[in-house]
Amino acid sequence: MVRPKVCVLRTAGTNCDKETAFAFAKAGAEADLVHVNSLVSATIDLHEYSILAFPGGFSYGDDIASGKVFANELRCKLGEELREFVKDGKLIIGICNGFQILVKSGLLPGNDLLKQETSLIINDSGKFESRWAYLKTKNNCVWTKSLPKVIYLPVAHGEGKFVAKDKKTLERLKKNKQIIFQYCDADGEFAGYPENPNGSTDHIAGICDETGRILGLMPHPERHVLRQQHPRWTQNKKNMEGDGLQIFKNGVEYAKKHFGEA
């Protein structure tokens, strides 16, 4: 059986790498935990993998701003490798701190210069928000194929408010259908706090690049791959797996189809 290879990239402060690797393994992939130094030193070749995952946590202690140090390291030390990886049509996902890294490295929303155009800043509440949230989904992305219109995932962040550098950038995201997840209530309606836990512009919880192959989101799909991870799982007899698992399955199926083992 073909099992696509996933590079789950970690560094000091990353703490969701094992959960992310488990989610990919559950979805049918072979996931390796790789320290960024192994890529920088070329001990491990990024191009052996068909999926690159940036898990959650507090990379480098979130010094300066969440994900900023790691993002600078990627851009300065691995910029060409990342450009080639994207050019080859491979997949990238960034979750929570990983999403912060993707936007601050310029990989999202995506441009040739890896220039930052959006950010994730301190929550409007001024505090760390840890709860479950409903998300309205869009299926115009490799990672979100066949997802229900509304899914339920946990959030855990202090800097999750999505903002764009200007109105033009936000309009481009809308025009290109790059807004993939938005905070909502159980009925799929937009609402303020606490349904929108951080005050994100247009309730944005996740975006993709123009190709639909690079996805970043603040909520944690790797924390809801098993039905038992749902806070009311004993009452829910309908769903036999967690809402987040399909996201990983979509990435793995795409990689199988386009890249085989790697």
Task: Judge contact between 214 and 91, C-beta under 8 A.
Answer: yes
Residue in 7, 16, 73, 96 annotated catalytic: 96
Encode burial over 223-259: b for 16+ CB neighbours within 10 A, e otherwise.
bbbbbebbeeeeeeeeeeebbbbbbbbbbbbbbbeeb
User: How many residues are recorded in the chain?
Assistant: 262
Residue in 73, 117, 159, 222 annotated catalytic: 222
Q: Is 63 strand, coil or helix?
A: coil
Task: Say whether 220 is catalytic.
Answer: yes
Task: Say whether 222 is catalytic.
Answer: yes
Q: How far, CA to CA in Å, does 84 sit from each of 50, 75, 91, 112, 117?
A: 12, 13, 12, 11, 21
Q: How far apart are the C-alpha atoms of 83 and 21, rounded to whole Å?
A: 23
Residue 18 CB coordination number (10 Å): 15
Task: Say whether 96 is catalytic.
Answer: yes
Q: Quick one: CA dihedral 165, 170, 172, 177, positive or negative? A: positive
Residue in 16, 157, 208, 220 annotated catalytic: 220
Catalytically active residues are: 96, 220, 222
